[in-house]
Structure 1
């Protein structure tokens, strides 16, 4: 796969579709890679040139020392766009990718045309959730990632979907098991420290909030918090847990495309 050379390493990406079409950036969740969007690519590339990438610490992208921040991950996106000479994009991010989308919408709105925030919140969890996980992953390494993989099935998918669609579930949770423990822990800190509750109201871009009715990680109430503060923001909910793009599939793709193309 191609990569953009950042100052401290390579950022892995895929750019697919007609070069004449506008660019849509897809940003993955914590513990997955760019393939979490596979189900969307056929539909999205009919309307966009789709740029997806492995967030720092994930997939085939760089794993650097120390803890990361959402600002750092947001600046990686800007560096990616600069390297590819792309001025403006549409953006769709899920969970941690949604935090990155919020940072970009607040700090670099001139680079975005429209933004879709999926299964995310202005603040996700608290240190009581994140610190033990960071400690466990740094201590136990790959064994911790395997344990998290098993626990994530219940967080990421409804029980009915997990039972009925084992191949889809295994493909996604397998990404978590393969994630660098160091990169995962560093991004847990990024999510832990991100708090856009005071800033999100400054966003003036067209914004769609996507929620899963069964999402216990970033609840529909978290989504409504953002929608109530961003003027003109729209909300759509699916019967899904945390990874609504996987669970809702074609319905997710259709709703996102309707917002992005109108």
Structure 2
């Protein structure tokens, strides 16, 4: 699989298809570009599709020191430029959605539209949810790798056995390096785009899973704060909505892209 040297790490990526638009897919935290296996072929029949592994994930390199969202965004910006692309539509899930927001805020000329799935604008999305997330991540960090993987699979994969198995595989791989795991966590909790969302000018599609209500209020706030945003609920889906209801997720994304 190809990789490009960016910001002192090798960034793994794949490209599929061709078309008048390019769609860049950014996976969730502690996952990898394999998250998009049910989207790549439906999307690449109409568009060029790029998937990549974010820093510290999948087949991309890790780095010492503190991770922060601007670093992830700069990695992606340099990948876009290295591939000779001027503008892309960016679709990010959860942590990948935070990277997508940061990318669009830092490098607006590179982003023609955003698709933000099951993400939020940072810890200020809700004190209760933030404390729960903090305790959850630290508790997971103190458990065995196998237990961490099982907890994540039970929490987010119970709507779809295939999603549960996928999460088990990914978390088992990514949670083995505790320092890298906590680095990703710190980048997530230090992110706060809320005061800057008013500066986003590109069309934005917000997607949340019907069965993951924790994401609904932040998404509703984001819809109000982003000028050209529209929010849709994916029925019969939870946090990993692109696995729980892939056909519906794909249809909603394609309908949005056709409007651009």
Fold conserved between structures, TM > 0.5: yes
Runs of 4 or more, structure 1, over 2 Å off, are 124-137, 166-169, 180-184
Report the RMSD for the aligned CA atoms in angstroms: 1.9
Paired with 1:40 and 1:115, the residues of 2 have a C-alpha distance of 16
The Cα shift of 1:215 comes to 1.5
Please list, as runs of the form range in 1=range in 2, the aligned pairs for 1:5-24 lying within 5 A after superposition.
Answer: 5-18=5-18, 20-24=19-23
* Partner residue, 1:237: 233
* Partner residue, 2:209: 212
* Partner residue, 2:58: 59
For residue 15 of structure 2, give the secondary structure of its aligned residue in structure 1. Answer: strand
For residue 250 of structure 1, give the secondary structure of its aligned residue in structure 2. Answer: helix
Please list, as runs of the form range in 1=range in 2, the aligned pairs for 1:107-146 lying within 5 A after superposition.
Answer: 107-124=106-123, 125-126=129-130, 129-130=133-134, 133-134=137-138, 137=141, 143=144, 145-146=145-146
Paired with 1:175 and 1:260, the residues of 2 have a C-alpha distance of 29
Greater Cα shift, 148-157 or 219-228:
148-157
For residue 121 of structure 1, give the secondary structure of its aligned residue in structure 2. Answer: coil
Paired with 1:44 and 1:255, the residues of 2 have a C-alpha distance of 11
| Structure 1 portions without partners, runs of 5+ | none
For residue 207 of structure 2, give the secondary structure of its aligned residue in structure 1. Answer: strand
* Partner residue, 1:221: 217
1:44–1:56 Cα change, 3 Å: same
Q: Give the one of 223, 226, 245 matched to 1:248.
A: 245
1:39–1:197 Cα change, 3 Å: same
| Structure 2 portions without partners, runs of 5+ | 124-128
The Cα shift of 1:131 comes to 6.7
Decide whether the 8 Å contact of 1:130 with 1:189 is kept in 2. no
Decide whether the 8 Å contact of 1:155 with 1:215 is kept in 2. no
For residue 237 of structure 1, give the secondary structure of its aligned residue in structure 2. Answer: strand
For residue 46 of structure 2, give the secondary structure of its aligned residue in structure 1. Answer: coil
* Partner residue, 2:178: 181
For residue 194 of structure 2, give the secondary structure of its aligned residue in structure 1. Answer: coil
Paired with 1:199 and 1:173, the residues of 2 have a C-alpha distance of 35
For residue 261 of structure 1, give the secondary structure of its aligned residue in structure 2. Answer: helix
Q: Which has the higher contact order (CA 8 A, sep 6+)?
A: 1
